[in-house]
């Protein structure tokens, strides 16, 4: 029944609407890094929390179509995103700090708020929260399995679980095999962490964290 109900996800926000969510912010970030030659347009891009593919849409507008790895556990979003962007490598899993399975909490209509964390905000939405048990992996394991030696850019928009994903990328970060990325900060408290903790983690690996580019998302990159 839950899988059938998930088909109703676009009743509040259409796919096209969400396909442009945060478009300008993400476009400006990637364009800046490309112009500064901190990342390469021919490199590998990770979209963690792909949702309706707005980051893939950004990359399309920047003429990037190859080596795009997307991670999205919502089966309807996976299906619809692949209709728009059949050239991406879509993974119907979560990324975290461990291999195995994890519960993902999906508000029926506000699917952009889906998270591995059961967020207090869910109680005020007035809509059903569907819990799916899905496969999860780490960035380190995924890169090893797929012979990925360098990620040029990783977008993290996973509603509070950003720290878990970074904890699963310790080898890639320690070896400076992630050139740059962006992470959302608004929901970190729900996961018992903070923006300061993530900043400390990244700076300890030698990254520069730019907190001035956006009030809701922080940029990080190699010196």
CA–CA gap between residue 202 and residue 191 (Å, rounded): 18
Token couple for 109: 């209509």
CA–CA gap between residue 72 and residue 78 (Å, rounded): 6
List, in sequence order, every beta strand (DSSP E) within the chain. Answer: 45-48, 68-71, 89-91, 94-95, 100-107, 129-137, 151-156, 178-184, 208-210, 217-221
Residue-level pLDDT at 161: 87
Which domains are assigned to the chain?
Answer: 21-99+137-221 (3.40.50.150)
CA–CA gap between residue 68 and residue 94 (Å, rounded): 16
Percentage of the residues of the chain whose pLDDT score is greater than 90 = 77
Residues 6+ apart with CB under 8 A from 128: 5, 107, 108
Residue-level pLDDT at 2: 67
CA–CA gap between residue 9 and residue 59 (Å, rounded): 25
CA–CA gap between residue 25 and residue 118 (Å, rounded): 27
CA–CA gap between residue 37 and residue 23 (Å, rounded): 21
Full pLDDT tens readout for the chain, 223 residues? 567 889 988 998 899 999 999 999 999 999 999 999 999 999 999 999 999 999 999 999 999 999 999 999 999 999 999 999 999 999 999 999 999 999 999 988 888 888 888 888 888 889 999 999 999 999 999 999 999 999 999 999 988 789 999 999 999 999 999 999 999 988 777 777 889 999 999 999 999 999 998 888 999 999 9
> What kind and span of H or E run contains 62?
none
Residue that is written with structure tokens 């679980």 in the block: 161
């Amino acid at each position: 029944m839950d899988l059938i109900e998930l088909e109703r996800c676009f009743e509040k926000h259409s796919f096209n609407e969400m396909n442009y969510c945060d478009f300008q912010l993400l476009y400006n970030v990637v364009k800046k890094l490309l112009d500064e030659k901190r990342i390469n347009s021919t490199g590998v891009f990770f979209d963690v929390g792909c949702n309706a593919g707005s980051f893939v849409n950004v990359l399309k507008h920047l003429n990037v179509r190859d080596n795009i790895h997307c991670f999205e556990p919502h089966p309807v979003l996976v299906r619809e995103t692949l209709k728009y962007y059949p050239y991406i490598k879509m993974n119907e899993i979560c990324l975290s700090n461990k291999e195995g399975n994890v519960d993902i909490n999906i508000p029926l209509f506000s699917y952009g708020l889906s998270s591995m964390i059961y967020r207090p905000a869910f109680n005020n939405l007035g809509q059903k929260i569907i819990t799916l048990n899905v496969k999860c992996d780490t960035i380190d394991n995924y890169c090893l399995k797929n012979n990925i030696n360098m990620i040029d850019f990783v977008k993290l928009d996973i509603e509070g679980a950003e720290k878990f994903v970074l904890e699963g990328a310790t080898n890639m970060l320690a070896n400076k095999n992630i050139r740059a990325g962006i992470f959302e900060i608004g929901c970190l408290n729900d996961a018992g962490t903070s923006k300061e903790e993530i900043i400390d983690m990244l700076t300890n690996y030698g990254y520069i964290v730019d907190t001035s580019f956006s009030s809701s998302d922080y940029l990080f990159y190699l010196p």
